[in-house]
């Protein structure tokens, strides 16, 4: 009987746990004991447990029946139907019931008492997540943690040759994976799945078997089926969240090592499922950078099977036998995919990859924002700085909230009188001050000058062509208070035409592909090319709906419209920065002079330091854009842009990326120089347009020669 006090502390989520046993008599009891003791869960109320025994011959089923017969539902199969099919059968039962989530759990894994409740909370918090996985540490034969704590898994990672591993496996736990983040996928040893994601990712049932459900590909039988599911969920737009505060202890039986020491059946499954995994999911775009490595690995596997490991030959025969069904599944995935395969390319890397995620923990407002220092950098902006202040000042005057908002205009030695004109109107405003510097400090230098002039909780960096009011500033400050892990936050930016500025409000960090696509005009000749689309977040299925503050179709990944949307690189035109982080990182890098890439560099440093960057759908600002470029002398923009782009890659690119960029950029600049030369000749160098094109052509030629040498 559940008391009223216990009832109030119950988790609101209905969870069905699926466990598949195969000769696990030594560990199934402590696994179930820990599961049935989970905080916030009571059998029959919000927790159901299904155990399927795959024809064990060590008494596993009897152990379950004897110790837990009245608590769990036990199915005993007369033959081993495989990990995939056994779980699918239990998942189908969960879907026919009222389960919100399904927890796939190994029979050799002991959960910490609050593990399941933390996983459920994280999955409910993050409506984009189709699955969540805990921090798994190695356990001994009694499922007690190995000392010192050693990682079993912190999520699944892929290498360019399409091998997948458990992130952190065999590393000592020294806090290196203590941050909530998105990973490619979670190991099938402990994986909590959302009901909607299960329905979305399950393969269509065969003709005449409408009541069947195939979430894990049953052709795999066992081994790699979790990586296959992770890849499929990624293509459908579902994220996998890693929750380090949810902890489990796993006794791993199959570990990376010499294949000669592994059961031949497992070796067969490893070979077979490597190819099934690629048939189902791999495309040229998803792993173009690793095509050579993946091809070589495939050839080595085939060669080894035909020579030194002939016991795995049945695996190749099985792949050929089931190839038509595998190709049908591949076609279904490709048709249904919401995310381009190319946008997943960054997951296939030599080093483990993860993506920043907003923390799901209940964060107290210990970092409540009470003071805002807005900094406007002015450099020959015409009437724009005046219009910016004319829009902002009235809202400051009527504001009766608790924020202390101050605006500082830093004029970088303008010669058009724009700052003086604005100062003549607002120079006596109690919340607005002006500073005129004797030289052009550049955007970075101006921001640092204005920000470090006053110790504030947050700094709001504003371009002169931004129209924003104090209500928007307050909404952003409130979000920063509620989410201390956010270091940089931008509102949704709208153009003067009233439309959201997609591709500008938020972006990913530049990649080698996106940089070269722009350099070779590919972003104009083929606007939807996968490299540019990925960079501009056009492949993110939730982003457009979020920017319009609208929901998406039922059964699809959703974005919580009340929360900030994590974006690697929010726009620097209207950017709120946490003061403590800004000071910790030393502000903007003034090497990026006079402008461009300084905001990208700062966002990159924030993410590398463990912080989150985001945009806020409930806040908006109008942004004109393009004025600064239009006022630059001919050829000056490309000179600044490519020099600062080079500096960015020098700071953040790997040696191989810098080498490839140098080799690829020089021909691109020569090509662009030739195009500008043709434009100059067509317009005649004596005209203004012709002279500008000629200047741009010679500048690009000089940059190309510099890249060569």
Note whether 126 and 360 are within 8 A (CB): yes
Which residues does residue 181 pair with via DSSP β-bridges, in sequence order? 242, 356
Percent of the chain exceeding pLDDT 70 equals 96
510-538 pLDDT, tens digit each: 999 899 999 999 999 988 888 898 899 98
pLDDT at 5: 41
Confidence of residue 409 (pLDDT cuts 50, 70, 90): very high
The span from the CA of 290 to the CA of 349, in Å, is 8
Rounded Cα–Cα distance for residues 697 and 680 (Å): 8
Mean pLDDT, to the nearest integer, of 342-357?
91
Instruction: Report the pLDDT averaged over residues 105-124.
Output: 97
Name the nearest CA neighbour of 48 among 83, 88, 2, 13: 13
Copy the structure tokens of residue 238. 């579902």
Query: What residues have CB less than 8 Å from 15, skipping those under 6 apart?
Result: 41, 46, 47, 48, 99, 100, 101, 102, 103, 116, 120, 192
**Quick one: average pLDDT of 216-232?**
97
Residue 484: per-residue pLDDT? 93
Report which of 26, 28, 23 is spatially closest to residue 56, judged by C-alpha positions.
23
Q: Per-residue pLDDT tens for 652-687?
A: 999 999 999 999 999 999 999 998 888 888 887 677
Other Cβ atoms less than 10 A from the Cβ of 366: the count is 7
> 414 pLDDT band (50/70/90 cuts)?
very high
* CA triple 431-436-442, angle to 5 deg: 105
What is the pLDDT, as a whole number, of residue 208?
A: 75
How far is residue 370's CA from residue 668's CA, in Å, rounded to a whole number? 49
The angle subtended at Cα 566 by Cα 644 and Cα 576, nearest 5°, is: 60
- Distances from the Cα of 228 to the Cα of 279, 458, 580, 665, 688, angstroms: 10, 43, 42, 37, 59
Burial 432-466 (b: 16+ CB within 10 A, else e): bbbbeeeebbbbbbbbbbbbeeeebbbbbbbbbbb
Q: How many CA atoms lie within 13 A of 588 on its CB side?
A: 30
pLDDT at 708 over 50: yes
pLDDT band at 693, cuts 50/70/90? confident
- Rounded Cα–Cα distance for residues 187 and 109 (Å): 12
pLDDT at 4: 46
Mean pLDDT of 399-425: 95
Check whether 490 has a pLDDT greater than 90: yes
How would residue 209 be classed by pLDDT, with cut points 50, 70 and 90?
confident
Question: What pLDDT sits at residue 529?
Answer: 86
Instruction: Specify the pLDDT at position 1.
Output: 46
Q: Report, as an integer, the average pLDDT of 351-365.
A: 82
pLDDT for 129 beyond 60 = yes
**The pLDDT value given to residue 707:** 67
- Which of 115, 105, 131 has its CA nearest to residue 49? 105
3-state secondary structure of 231: helix
Is residue 254 predicted with pLDDT exceeding 70?
Answer: no
Average model confidence (pLDDT) for the chain? 93
Q: What is the pLDDT of residues 268-309, one digit of tens each?
A: 999 999 999 999 999 988 888 889 999 999 999 999 999 999
What value does the mean pLDDT take over residues 556-569?
A: 94
Tell me which of 140-149, 257-266, 323-332 is least confident.
Answer: 257-266
Fill in the DSSP letter of residue 229: H
Rounded-to-integer distance, Cα 698 and Cα 684, Å: 15
Report the b/e string of 378-399 with b at 16+ CB within 10 A: bbbbbebbbbbbeebbebbeeb
The highest-confidence range among 6-15, 195-204, 345-354, 626-635, by mean pLDDT, is 195-204
Residue 38 has pLDDT above 80, yes or no: yes
Residue % of the chain over a pLDDT of 90: 81
Say whether pLDDT at 542 is over 60.
yes
pLDDT at 255: 53
Say what the alpha-carbon torsion angle 159, 165, 166, 167 is, to the nearest 10 degrees. Answer: -20
């Amino acid at each position: 009987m559940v008391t009223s006090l216990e009832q109030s502390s119950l988790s609101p989520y209905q969870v069905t746990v699926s466990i598949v046993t195969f000769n696990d008599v030594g560990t199934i009891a402590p696994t179930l004991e820990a599961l049935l003791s989970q905080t916030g869960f009571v059998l029959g109320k919000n927790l159901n447990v299904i155990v399927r025994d795959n024809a064990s011959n060590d008494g596993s089923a009897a152990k379950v029946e004897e110790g837990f017969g009245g608590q769990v539902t036990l199915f005993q199969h007369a033959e081993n139907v495989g990990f995939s099919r056994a779980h699918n059968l239990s998942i189908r039962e969960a879907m026919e019931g009222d389960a919100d989530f399904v927890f796939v759990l190994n029979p050799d894994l002991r959960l910490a008492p609050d593990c399941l409740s933390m996983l459920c909370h994280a999955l409910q918090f993050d409506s984009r997540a189709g699955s969540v996985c805990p921090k798994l540490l190695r356990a001994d034969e009694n499922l007690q943690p190995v000392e010192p704590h050693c990682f079993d898994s912190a999520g699944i990672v892929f290498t360019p040759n399409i091998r997948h591993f458990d992130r952190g496996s065999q590393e000592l736990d020294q806090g290196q994976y203590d941050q909530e983040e998105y990973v490619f996928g979670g190991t099938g040893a402990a994986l909590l799945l959302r009901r909607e994601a299960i329905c979305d990712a399950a393969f269509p049932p065969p003709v005449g078997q409408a009541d069947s459900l195939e979430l894990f590909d049953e052709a795999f039988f066992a081994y790699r089926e979790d990586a296959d599911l992770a890849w499929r969920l990624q293509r459908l737009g579902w994220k996998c969240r890693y929750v380090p505060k949810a902890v489990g202890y796993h006794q791993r039986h199959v570990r990376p090592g010499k294949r000669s020491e592994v059961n031949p059946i497992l070796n067969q499954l490893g070979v077979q499922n490597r190819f099934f995994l690629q048939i189902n999911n791999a495309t040229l775009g998803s792993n173009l950078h690793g095509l050579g490595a993946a091809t070589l690995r495939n050839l080595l596997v085939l060669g080894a099977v035909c020579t030194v490991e002939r016991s795995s030959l049945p695996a190749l025969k099985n792949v050929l036998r089931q190839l038509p069904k595998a190709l049908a599944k591949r076609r279904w995935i490709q048709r249904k995919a919401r995310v381009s395969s190319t946008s997943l390319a960054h997951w296939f890397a030599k080093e483990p990859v993860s993506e920043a995620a907003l923390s799901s923990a209940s964060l107290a407002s210990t970092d409540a924002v009470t003071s805002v220092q807005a900094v406007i950098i002015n450099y020959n902006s015409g009437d724009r700085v005046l219009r910016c202040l004319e829009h902002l000042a009235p809202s400051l005057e009527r504001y009766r909230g608790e924020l202390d908002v101050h605006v500082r205009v830093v004029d970088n030695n303008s010669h058009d009188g724009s700052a003086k004109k604005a100062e003549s109107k607002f120079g006596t405003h109690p919340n607005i001050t002006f500073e005129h510097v004797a030289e052009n400090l550049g955007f970075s230098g101006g921001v640092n000058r204005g920000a470090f002039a006053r110790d504030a909780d947050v700094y709001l960096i504003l371009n002169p062509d931004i129209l924003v009011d104090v209500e928007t500033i307050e909404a952003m400050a409130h979000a920063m208070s509620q989410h201390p892990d956010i270091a940089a936050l931008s509102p949704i930016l709208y153009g003067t035409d009233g439309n959201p500025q997609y591709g500008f409000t938020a972006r990913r960090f530049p990649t080698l592909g996106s940089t070269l696509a722009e350099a070779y005009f590919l972003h104009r000749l083929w606007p939807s090319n996968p490299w540019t689309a990925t960079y501009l977040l056009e492949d993110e299925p939730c982003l457009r709906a979020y920017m319009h503050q609208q929901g998406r179709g039922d059964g699809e990944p959703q974005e919580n419209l009340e929360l900030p949307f994590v974006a690697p690189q929010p726009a620097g035109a209207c950017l709120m920065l946490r003061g403590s982080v800004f000071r910790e990182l030393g502000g903007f890098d003034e090497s990026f002079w006079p402008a461009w890439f300084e905001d990208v560099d700062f966002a990159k440093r924030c993410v590398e330091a463990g912080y989150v960057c985001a945009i806020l759908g409930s806040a908006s600002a109008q942004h004109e854009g393009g004025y600064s470029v239009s006022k630059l002398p001919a050829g000056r923009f490309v000179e600044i842009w490519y020099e600062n782009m080079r500096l960015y890659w020098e700071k953040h690119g790997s040696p191989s990326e810098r080498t490839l960029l140098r080799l690829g950029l020089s021909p691109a600049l020569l090509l662009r120089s030739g195009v500008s030369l043709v434009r100059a000749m067509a317009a005649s160098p004596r005209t203004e347009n012709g002279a500008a094109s000629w200047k741009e052509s010679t500048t690009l030629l000089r940059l190309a020669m510099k890249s060569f040498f």
